[in-house]
A and B are shown apart, each in its own frame.
Chain A
Amino acid sequence: MRILVVDDSVMDRKIAGGLLSNHADWEVHYAVNGKEALDQMELHMPDLVVTDLQMPEMDGLQLVQHIRENYPLIPVVLMTAQGSEEIAVQALQQGAASYVPKKRLARDLAEIAERVLTASGQERTSMRLMNRMRKNEIEFVLENDLSLVHSVVGFLQEAVSRVRLCSEADQLRLGVALEEALVNAFYHGNLEVSSSLREEDHREYYELAQRRSKEEPYKDRRIHVSAYISPMQAVYKIRDEGPGFDPHNLPDPIDPANLDRPCGRGVLLMRTFMDDVQFNPAGNEVTLTKRRVDDKDHTGEAEQAED
């Protein structure tokens, strides 16, 4: 295993490097700041980066941000000194794997490095496995229950992230589109609560939905969710058991005259954030397709996982 220790202090570099060199399988390399660390990473990819936070040229936080964006599978462990707690919190939020206070290096550094390397190895293996997945077919039949339908969006986003079909931002957009389709199925499809009621009385809209969720025939209706996910595209079908609607009858949500009306924004978001959106003739099932886009944002992980 190759470990890159980054610190502008000669003494701290030697201490950290010495502790890590005690491990027979670990080869330790050094850089004096974030910029030099990145130069070295261009030449020889490390398995782990252990970095100080406060350094000239490029500090530890900037280094973490750069590694997260360009080498997302390389874990970073922070060495924190007194006074750097705030920046350490930011670095952890940015994706650093762990931290060790400098005064506890002797006791904790090797153990934490080992733990992080093990976890990173497992993640890399899992990604290699996902690179070999050809398809993933998922099907749910859900009661008209808000907590379940909320969970299914997270599950489907996670399933797409495993095959790295799209960037993180596109996964958020996918989440918006799926939620909109499920909102339609829940409120307008199964509970038959109309947007026009929301225009008249916002609170009554939600109260009617709540009442109907306990009444026949609405309460027994289900939401059917299926997903076909491959490395090239994800196709989702979301069907409710209501009477359906005609999407052509929706008012244009971007017409300035409609800005103060509740109309068609969910379908607009679906159409914008997915590559294709089709309703069945009955209007109670929508098929949403997201296709693979190869860009720098998310192919880096795949390339690293192939190593």
Chain B
Amino acid sequence: MDTQEIFEIEQVDDVVIVTVCSEIGNFSCADAMSELDTEVAQRHASASLSAVLVDFSNVDYFGSMMLETLRHIWMTVRDSGGKLAICGCNPVCHEVFELSHFTSIWSIYETQEEALANLKGE
């Protein structure tokens, strides 16, 4: 599966919004996850990002590989004060973030609108 089929990437000012477009099993999109990581790193290198927002509204569940990709993206932006935020989680996706304790370092919002309002207000 191509990266474009799995992730839709747009940028609003200095916030990159990644919408996960399709089911993101651990296996079907290892390459896409790696490419997403690279894409965010390139955007951050050309103009420092204040945040990366990842929208999971279209996703039933995901596992450690997605967590790993997010962790890596977070490490890319955090060195210059950037943040990682999440939105659109169903209860199972939310549970995965809580179990892995990433909720202590990443903000979780209901919707993109709420997330963007908070990220821009900070």
Provide the main secondary structure of the chain B interface: helix
A146 in contact with B34 (CB, 8 Å): no
Provide the main secondary structure of the chain A interface: helix
List the one stretch of A80-88, A102-110, A126-134, A256-264 in contact with chain B. Answer: A256-264
Task: Tell me the minimal C-beta distance from B119 to chain A in angstroms.
Answer: 20
| CB-contacts of B4-43 with A (<8 A) | 25-28, 30-31, 34, 37-38
Determine whether the beta carbon of A175 is less than 8 Å from that of B27. Answer: no
Q: How far is the CA of A173 from the CA of B100 in the complex (A)?
A: 14
Interface-located stretch among A1-9, A63-71, A266-274, A290-298: A266-274
The answer to whether A254 and B26 touch (CB under 8 A), given A172-B61, A176-B96, A179-B63, is no
B67 at the interface (CB under 8 A from A): yes
* Interface pair B25/A179, CB less than 8 Å apart: yes
Judge whether B114 is part of the interface by a CB distance below 8 angstroms.
no
Given contacts A150-B27, A182-B27, contact A173 B34 (CB under 8 A): no
Contact pattern, A 192-213, Cβ under 8 Å of B = 1, otherwise 0:
0000001000110010010000
Q: How far is the CB of B102 from chain A (nearest CB, A)?
A: 7
Are A173 and B63 in touch, CB under 8 angstroms?
no
List of B residues within 8 angstroms of A179 by Cβ = 25-27, 63
- B92 pairs with A147, CB closer than 8 A: no
A162 within 8 A of B: no
Please, which residues of chain B bring their CB within 8 A of the CB of A268?
Answer: 99-100
Instruction: Given A150-B28, A183-B26, A260-B71, check contact A269 B91 (CB 8 Å).
Output: no
A262 to chain B, nearest CB (A): 5
Nearest CB in chain A: distance from B57 CB, A: 13
- Nearest B residue to A145 by beta-carbon distance? B27
- Give the distance to chain A from B80, nearest Cβ to Cβ, in Å: 15
Evaluate whether A176 and B30 lie within 8 angstroms (CB atoms) in the complex, with A169-B92, A259-B105 already known.
no
CB within 8 Å of A: which B78-113 residues: 91-92, 95-96, 99-102, 104-105
Check B31 against A265 for contact (C-beta < 8 Å): no
Q: Which residues of B contact A175 (CB under 8 A)?
A: 60-61
Q: Cβ of B45 < 8 Å from any Cβ of A?
A: no
Near B by CB (< 8 A), chain A positions 143-163 give: 146-147, 149-150, 153
Q: Please state if A202 and B92 are interface contacts (CB–CB under 8 Å).
A: no
Assembly CA distance A202 to B70 (angstroms): 11
B92 touches A149 (CB 8 A): no
Q: Which residues of B contact A (CB under 8 A)?
A: 25-28, 30-31, 34, 37-38, 60-65, 67-69, 71-72, 74-75, 91-92, 95-96, 99-102, 104-105
* Interface CB pairs A-B, < 8 A, 5: A176-B62, A183-B26, A206-B30, A254-B99, A265-B64
Q: A172-B60, A265-B68 are in contact. List 15 more A-B contacts (CB 8 A).
A: A146-B28, A150-B26, A169-B92, A175-B61, A180-B64, A183-B63, A202-B34, A202-B37, A203-B34, A206-B31, A259-B105, A260-B71, A260-B74, A262-B71, A266-B64
